[in-house]
Amino acid sequence: MSPVARLLAHRLGMSLIVLVGVSILIFAIARIIPGDPARIALGPNATPEQVENLRQALHLDQNIVVQYGYFVADLLRGDLGVSLYTNRPVTADIAQFLPATLELVIAAGIMMIGIGLPLGIISARYRGRWPDNLIRLVSLLGVSAPSFVWAVIFMLLFAFYLPLFPIAGRISDIYSIEAVTGFLLIDTLIAGDMRAFGNAAWHIILPAFALSVSGIGQAARLTRANMVETYDKPFIEMARSYGFADRRIANRFAFRPSLIPSLTIIGLDFAAMLGNAFLVEAVFAWPGLSRYGVAVILRKDLNAIVGTVLIISATFLIMNIIVDLLIAFINPRIRHSQRPA
């Protein structure tokens, strides 16, 4: 097995253990609910028999270990139960809402890397001079407010006062795009409708940017910190005395070794963005998991809460595995390693 494949196997196994733990944790949280979920679901007018029937159907009358057993058995068949809020299978609900959220998070992630890393490089290269001070100040401001505050401020500035971007939604109503993947930016391309693609891209810029602001700040700060450390190493001194241009030293010699620790943290930032997407979606009326998640939480819809959190955690674990693999490809010490990972 190649070192990268071995790492993948190791990480998948680890993630599976963690996912089982997550399912137990979430299941436990959902069952400490005060009040009877069956009663809440049916409303105050239900008869005691109706409540009792639903309790039996949901296995709420059994002890908690048996309930978890039923839950895992269903889960393995890809069944997360029925949402008491929408009366549809939880998997169907999530399949409908998750792509919009993922599209937003991935767009924000691309902005985080595409803007944050270059800012960090510039900052480190001009260490102690005005570009460095400016970038440090801006990135610290960026991490100092929750994404909903940025969302509201950007909306006010760039959608109301300067009407550059749309105020809400994923795409204008005039376009009807057949849902294939659920990712509008991909579906519009499949449909071959470039105007619709442009429209969807235009809609996603502002929410994705609001979501990525603190990630950009985080990425810039980390890259700078790592690069500043690298700059003190002798091989940079040597590159300088060979007469390489500052730009080349920054982009090649100092940046590359600093990329690995930055990427690790960027993986963690994805987790934060999956959660923060709820906030941005609420501001921009983005039809993602947010409204569904908040609605099911307020209604104490057990199956839907457990399902949503489980899917989000699984998504996060998958994203982290991807980041780890990326690092393995970048890092020659892992790529060419002969030792077990």
Q: Footprint of other proteins on this chain (CB under 8 A)?
A: 14, 17-19, 21-22, 25-26, 29-30, 32-34, 137, 140-141, 143-146, 148-149, 152-153, 155-156, 160-161, 225, 271-276, 278-279, 282-283, 293-294, 296-298, 300, 305, 308-309, 312-313, 316-317, 320
Nearer to other proteins, 236 or 305 (CB): 305
291 vs 293: CA distance, rounded Å: 5
Q: Give me the least distance between CB of 21 and other proteins, in Å please.
A: 4
Is residue 82 within 8 Å of residue 303, measured between CB atoms? yes
Nearer to other proteins, 187 or 281 (CB): 281
Q: Give me the least distance between CB of 242 and other proteins, in Å please.
A: 30
Nearer to other proteins, 42 or 152 (CB): 152
Nearer to other proteins, 147 or 188 (CB): 147
Is residue 177 within 8 Å of residue 191, measured between CB atoms? yes
**Residues in CB range of 295: below 8 A, 6 or more apart:** 85, 301
Per-residue tokens: 7: 């790492």
**Residues in CB range of 164: below 8 A, 6 or more apart:** 158
CA dihedral 145, 146, 147, 151 (to 10 degrees): -70
Q: Give me the least distance between CB of 309 and other proteins, in Å please.
A: 5
Q: Give me the least distance between CB of 229 and other proteins, in Å please.
A: 9
Helix, strand, or coil here: 341?
coil
Q: Give me the least distance between CB of 151 and other proteins, in Å please.
A: 9
202 vs 43: CA distance, rounded Å: 42
249 vs 254: CA distance, rounded Å: 6
Q: Give me the least distance between CB of 188 and other proteins, in Å please.
A: 28
Nearer to other proteins, 145 or 260 (CB): 145
Q: Give me the least distance between CB of 269 and other proteins, in Å please.
A: 10
Nearer to other proteins, 201 or 260 (CB): 260
256 CB neighbour count, 10 Å cutoff: 13
Q: Give me the least distance between CB of 61 and other proteins, in Å please.
A: 19
Nearer to other proteins, 191 or 272 (CB): 272
Q: Looking at residue 89, what DSSP letter applies?
A: B
Cross-strand partners of 89: 82
Nearer to other proteins, 184 or 302 (CB): 302
Nearer to other proteins, 309 or 328 (CB): 309
**Residues in CB range of 292: below 8 A, 6 or more apart:** 93, 97, 304, 308
Q: Give me the least distance between CB of 81 and other proteins, in Å please.
A: 16
Helices (H), the chain: 3-31, 37-42, 48-57, 64-76, 90-125, 130-142, 147-155, 184-190, 194-231, 234-242, 246-248, 255-284, 289-298, 302-330, 332-335
